[in-house]
């Protein structure tokens, strides 16, 4: 019997959080709104912090977006120790250094959520509820995604497996975006410094 992998799996499961009940008032006639990137070109600059277990790193970064579904991400390690880039177009993510994608970046739906775009896989059965100013929805049966929207803004997206939240993305006030994978003890936090109209050409999509 391979004990070590079993213990690792059990530890990861123990660190995940159960999906809480979907609160609020049922709204069976409401559909999830289409949350998209801002029209045109925009450039977002940010500071980032990454933690995985006892490992930590931080630095600066930038995202350039083009409506409706394109984004280029550039990360710079503090102290000029390194850099990495990735291009996200639709449901395709490319990076010269594949380890950057696998180690630091969230899966594609959660990465889009960090930019305010709702792009989860199409699934049957969506339960929508209204809780004050927030719309919450469980997508899938059993739920695979928990979506939280306030007004016209995506503020939370949880990935769910067997009733447990395995990954979560939150967008709070003051421009703080946090991705967490509790079972893997991973967290990536972005602090937005500037979000403005950008100007760039098609060459940025080539890596």
Name which of 3, 56, 46 is nearest 185 in CA terms.
Answer: 56
Using alpha carbons, list the distances in angstroms from residue 127 to 44, 112, 142, 153, 174.
Answer: 33, 22, 11, 19, 30
**pTM summary value:** 0.89
Rounded distance, CA 80 to CA 131, Å?
Answer: 45
What is the per-residue pLDDT across 185-205, written as a single tens digit (0 to 9) for each? 999 999 999 999 999 999 999
Name which of 48, 128, 122 is nearest 84 in CA terms.
Answer: 48
Pick the CATH number of 30-199 from 2.60.120.650, 2.50.20.10, 3.10.20.740, 3.40.1360.10: 2.50.20.10
- Helix residue spans in the chain (DSSP H): 3-15, 98-104, 108-114
Q: Is the confidence at residue 51, as pLDDT, over 60? A: yes
Segments making up each domain of the chain, as ranges: 30-199
What is the per-residue pLDDT across 82-102, written as a single tens digit (0 to 9) for each? 899 999 999 999 998 777 677
What is the per-residue pLDDT across 101-152, written as a single tens digit (0 to 9) for each? 777 899 999 999 999 999 999 898 999 999 999 999 999 999 999 999 999 9
């Amino acid at each position: 019997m391979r004990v070590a992998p079993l213990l690792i799996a059990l530890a990861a499961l123990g660190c995940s959080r159960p999906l809480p009940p979907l609160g609020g008032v049922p709204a069976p006639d409401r559909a999830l709104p289409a949350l998209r990137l801002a029209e045109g070109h925009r450039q977002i600059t940010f500071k980032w912090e990454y933690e995985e277990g006892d490992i930590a790193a931080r630095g600066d970064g930038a995202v350039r977006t083009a409506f409706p579904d394109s984004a280029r991400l550039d990360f710079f390690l503090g102290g000029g120790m390194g850099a990495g880039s990735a291009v996200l177009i639709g449901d395709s993510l490319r990076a010269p250094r594949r380890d950057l994608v696998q180690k630091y970046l969230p899966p594609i739906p959660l990465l889009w959520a960090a930019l305010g775009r709702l792009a989860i896989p199409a699934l049957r059965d969506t339960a929508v509820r209204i809780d004050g100013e927030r719309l919450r929805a469980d997508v899938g049966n059993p739920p695979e995604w928990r979506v939280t929207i306030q007004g016209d803004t995506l503020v939370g997206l949880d990935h769910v497996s067997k009733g447990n939240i395995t990954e979560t993305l939150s967008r709070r006030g003051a421009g703080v975006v946090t991705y967490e994978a509790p079972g893997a003890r991973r967290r990536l936090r972005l602090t937005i410094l500037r979000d403005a109209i950008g100007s760039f050409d098609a060459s940025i999509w080539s890596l």
